[in-house]
Every structure is written in structure tokens, then in C-alpha cells.
A and B are shown apart, each in its own frame.
Chain A
Amino acid sequence: MTSYNANMMAVLKRLYMGLILFFMYAPIAVLIIFSFNASRSRGTWEGFTLDWYIRLLNDQHTQRALRNTVLIAIFSTIFATAIGTVAAIGIDKLKKRSRTAIMLVSRVPVMMPDVIIGISLMMLFLFVFRTLGVGSLGFGTMLLAHVIFNVPYVILSVTPKLRQLDPNLYEAALDLGSNPLRAFVQVILPELWPGVVTGAMLAFTMSVDDFMVSFFTTSPGVQNLSIRIFSMTRRGVDPSINALSTIIFVVVMIMLILINRRDRRLIHKNAEDD
């Protein structure tokens, strides 16, 4: 009786997971299948075609949007990682009270709804431009906005590593005749590195995925991929969106598999070291 019950439970568990997976992947599967559909219709299948991919490859707006997304992701990641790492080290050295206060303010961009970050940064940029009499929203403001919302993710990833750090390490390096800069680069940084890498990867994905903040901090002329997709969906049925989604899906999947492999290799390596 119990084994019958246990089997029933196992079947139910699998069924439940299957249903949720179906729910999670249904819209993605539909997008991929219909990216090869010869008809414009989103509901009926009328034969195989690659037309939408070809059209996408020839679409200047999408190409420019893709370039913006990649450039902003790379540069905002570099800036945010540098600022966040240095800030995390500085914060760690503070007294407890000021540390708590600064960490609380640092978290604001993570806790606030995206819409509010978006409009408040838009107001700041326009306010500054109006006061100075020059400047306008565009690539620069979008990049700066991405750096601003990415810094906390780096800080939150580096801080735990700083806690694990042996405080004597830095002193030891100095005692052994190293100068402060060299001690930092050759002794402290390698210890923090895993946290820095995690923070950078988080920042990169946040930047690629962002819509809201970008939407408010750019001008209609400068789009990233998310804004491009949004404006395409506003204009109604366009199977090019499906083609674009399929490409994004494949790229994301490959990236995740690579990261996963790397993590597993690291775990194996650490296990061997131990």
C-alpha cells in the first residue's frame, strides 16, 4: 500500500513538473515554430520559410539596436564592476554605522521599482541638461543609467568575499616589502576575484535584459534591443519578432550552458585542490 502511494506520489510530482514546464515553454516554443511560418498569421501554419530571418538581417533598426545593447552591456559592466569593487572595499573598511547607512542607500536601485528608477534618472538628466543649456537624452544617458543600476549588484557580490578575507593578508604583504598598490593587485584582488566575476556577469545580464530604465533614459532615435522589440510589438503582427526571439533564445541557451560547464569545472577543480 505504501509503495503504491509512493509511486502515485512520484507520478503526480512528475506530472505537476511537466505541466509547469509546459506552461513555461509554451510561448517560447510557439515563437520559435512561427518564426519559420510562411504566413504572416500568428495562428495558422502555412509552410516553412526563412524569410523572416532574412528580413531581420536586412533590418537596419534592429542591427543598430543590437549594437547598442551589446556596447552598453559591455561598457556598463566594465564601469560598474570597477566602481562597485572599489566602493565595496571602501565600505568594508568603514565603521559599522556608516557602513550600514551606505549599504542601505546602495540597495535603493535594487529595491525600487524599475519605473521609478527610470523616471527619476530621466528627471535628473533633463534637469542637468536644462540647467547647463546643453545635452540631450541618448546613448550616453542610457549607458550612465545602466552603470547606476548595475553598481549595487557588483557591490552585493563582492562584499561577501571581503568578509571572508583574512585581514592580516594585506598587512603581511606590506611587511614583506610590497607597496600598497602591488599588495592590492597581487594579494587582495585575486581573493576577491570570484565575487568580482559574479558581479560582472550579473551586471551584464541585467543590462542586456533591461527595458524600463533604458526606455526612460534614451531618445526615440537611440534604441536598444528591448525597446526595439517593444516598438515592433506596438506596430502589430510582425513575424520578424519571432525570428529575433528565436535567435535570442538560442544565444541565451548557449551562454547558460557554457557558464554552467565553467561552474562545474570550477567545482571539480576545487574538489581536487582540497
Chain B
Amino acid sequence: MRRLFTYPYIVWLAIFVIAPLLLVFFYAFSGTDADGYTYFTFQNINKFFEGIIEGQPFFQRIYVRVATRSLRMALQTTVICFLLGYPLAHILASKGFRDKPILLFLFIMPMWMNFLVRTYGWMTILERNGIMNNLLRRMNLPTIDILFTDSAVLLGMVYNFLPFMVLPIYTALTKMDKRIIEAAQDLGASPRSVFLRVVFPLSMPGVVSGITMVFMPAAATFIIPNLLGGGQFFLLGNLVEQQFLLVGNWHFGSAVAVVMIVLMLVSTFILSRFDRQTEASEGGMRL
């Protein structure tokens, strides 16, 4: 009975989860010669770090710049989402708003809309002759031309990923034991130190999962830069898509994917360490 339930699933995992990943690694570390033979090589990974033009300084090489741009945009998105999202989650979890589930519903609802549609909405607003500029013109203000720039991509990413930051923090804040806060207040802590030394540290698990849920997809997205950044806007996700669908170079595309997987594992590792630290301090508090 037990085997009947588990073994088919193990086979399923092997074929549909492990094998595809092995294929990515296989192609990343192999090449095909003129006769169609496959050989082992590091050249695809090297190509990523060396770029196309020889002798350039490391951070100016084309693919390294794609990687740093992706990480920078993802980091900026995460920071902005945190700065906007934490206060929002705090307000939603505070007295007077907590008993109004409709509010949370209002903030989550756009998340259920197809994200392509929402991103298309921003194109309509930000266009040169779009709504925002029409309004600015009517008020005799200078127009802003930000569609197809970094700022537009950043705006689109913050817009799409903000709920993923708000939700886990909100959950952490509402699950918090209110007696600890009351105890801190009774012991004479000012509202400021109650927040900084009790509420914020206790909400860290929510913050960490919020950061994970924003940073990872933001570093890998290719649709938002594709629509709001125009064709020329290049992030890691775009590079992978281009190598697989336009260039048809599976070897180099897989190498980029491997770089992405490594970056993801490294950031997961760093974030999980943070989580463990807060868990430890939480345990200390319970004593």
C-alpha cells in the first residue's frame, strides 16, 4: 500500500523535476561540434563571464552587466517594496483595521488579475501621449517620458510584487502574541522602542519571506522589462528567453540558467541564515 502510493510519485519527480534540471546542467557544460558530437566543456560558463569583446574590465563585460543590472533592479524593487509594504502591513494589522477583512481583500485583489494585463495598464498610463502626460499637459506642467526606461521597469516590478511583501509581514504581525507587546508597554518602553525592539524583531520571519518572494521573481522576470523597458532592456530572464527562442543556443542559454540557479541558491542561503537568527532570538524571548 505504502509503496503503491510513494513509488509512482518518486518516478514522477525523477522524470519531471530532476531530469529537466539535469538537462539544464548537461547543456550548460557541453558543446556540439560540427559533426554533431557532444563534448564536455566550460566554454559556455566562461562565455558568460568573459563576454564578447576581449580585454574589458570585469564589470563592463556584456553578460556580467546583464547580471549586475538584474541584481540591482531586483534589489531596488525589494527595498522599495519593503519601505512601502511594511507600513502598509502594519496599518492593516493594527487595531481598528484588523477586523475589516475587506481592506486586505482590496489589496490582494489586483494580485489575482493577470499580471500581463496590469502591466499593459501601466503602458497606457506612462506612454508619451498617455494619460499621465495628458493630465500634466492640461495642468501646464512639463511632461515625463519614462516608458521604456529603468524607472518604468522598476515601477512595474514594485507594482507587481508589492502584495508578496505585504502578505507575509501582515501574517507575522497578526499572529504575534499581543501580551509580549503589552508587557513591554507595562515595563515602561516608549512606543518607539516597543516597535524597534519587540514588534519589528518578531515580524522578521514575515520580512524574510517577503524579501524572498519579491527578490527571486524580480531577479528572474522577463515580461515586465520586455513590455515596460522596450526591446532593448536586458535582464537575465530576457537573456535566457532570447537564447532559447530567438538564437536557439541551448548551451549558452542553459549556462545563463545555471548562473541564475546559483544566484538563487546563494540568496536563499543568506536569507535562511537571517531566518534562523530571528528564530533563535524568538526562542530566547519565550524564556
Contact = CB atoms under 8 A, between A and B. Distances in A.
B125 interface: yes
Contact of A93 (B5, B18, B84, B227): B5
B220 A43 contact: no
A94 B5 CA distance: 10
Given A43-B133, A113-B260, A119-B24, A31 B124 contact: yes
A113 B216 contact: yes
Contacts of B96: 10
A86 interface: yes
A172 interface: no
A95 to B, nearest CB: 11
B2 A209 contact: no
Contacts of A241: 117, 120
A233 B217 contact: no
A86 B9 contact: yes
A204 to B, nearest CB: 12
B106 A21 contact: yes
Contact of B244 (A180, A216, A230): A216
Nearest to A148: B16
B115 A42 contact: no
Contact of A230 (B10, B92, B116, B250): B116
A23 to B, nearest CB: 7
B121 A211 contact: no
A43 B119 CA distance: 16
A24 B130 CA distance: 18
Interface stretch (A56-64, A70-78, A104-112, A191-199): A104-112
Nearest to A14: B91
Given A34-B124, A116-B220, A93 B2 contact: yes
Interface in A1-39: 10, 13, 16-17, 20-21, 23-28, 30-31, 34
A83 interface: yes
- Chain A residues touching B, range: 35 or more
A27 B227 CA distance: 14
B118 A27 contact: yes
A226 B216 CA distance: 21
Given A13-B91, A209-B114, A248-B114, A148 B240 contact: no
Contact of B5 (A86, A148, A216, A248): A86
Interface string B1-19: 1101110111011011111
A246 B121 CA distance: 11
A168 interface: no
Interface string A194-208: 000000000001000
B129 A83 contact: no
A211 B241 CA distance: 13
A44 interface: yes
Contacts of B2: 90, 93-94
Contacts of B127: 42-43
Interface string B89-109: 001101011000001011101
B268 interface: yes
B201 interface: no
21 contacts: A24-B110, A27-B124, A27-B125, A28-B121, A44-B134, A83-B12, A90-B6, A91-B9, A102-B10, A109-B17, A115-B220, A116-B240, A116-B260, A119-B257, A124-B20, A211-B115, A216-B244, A226-B114, A233-B123, A245-B120, A260-B105
Given A44-B129, A83-B12, 19 more contacts: A20-B107, A25-B110, A27-B159, A42-B127, A42-B129, A89-B5, A90-B6, A91-B6, A106-B13, A111-B268, A114-B220, A115-B240, A120-B20, A120-B21, A120-B24, A124-B15, A211-B114, A233-B120, A245-B120
Interface of A: 10, 13, 16-17, 20-21, 23-28, 30-31, 34, 41-44, 83, 86-87, 89-91, 93-94, 102, 105-106, 108-109, 111-117, 119-124, 127, 144, 148, 151, 180, 205, 209, 211-212, 216, 225-226, 229-230, 233, 241-242, 244-245, 248-249, 252-253, 256, 260
10 closest A-B pairs by beta carbon, nearest first, are: A27-B121, A90-B5, A113-B220, A120-B20, A90-B6, A87-B9, A245-B117, A124-B20, A42-B124, A43-B129
Interface of B: 1-2, 4-6, 8-10, 12-13, 15-21, 23-24, 27, 84, 87-88, 91-92, 94, 96-97, 103, 105-107, 109-110, 112-125, 127, 129-131, 133-134, 159, 162, 216-217, 219-220, 222-223, 227, 237, 240-241, 244-245, 250, 253-254, 257, 260-261, 264, 268
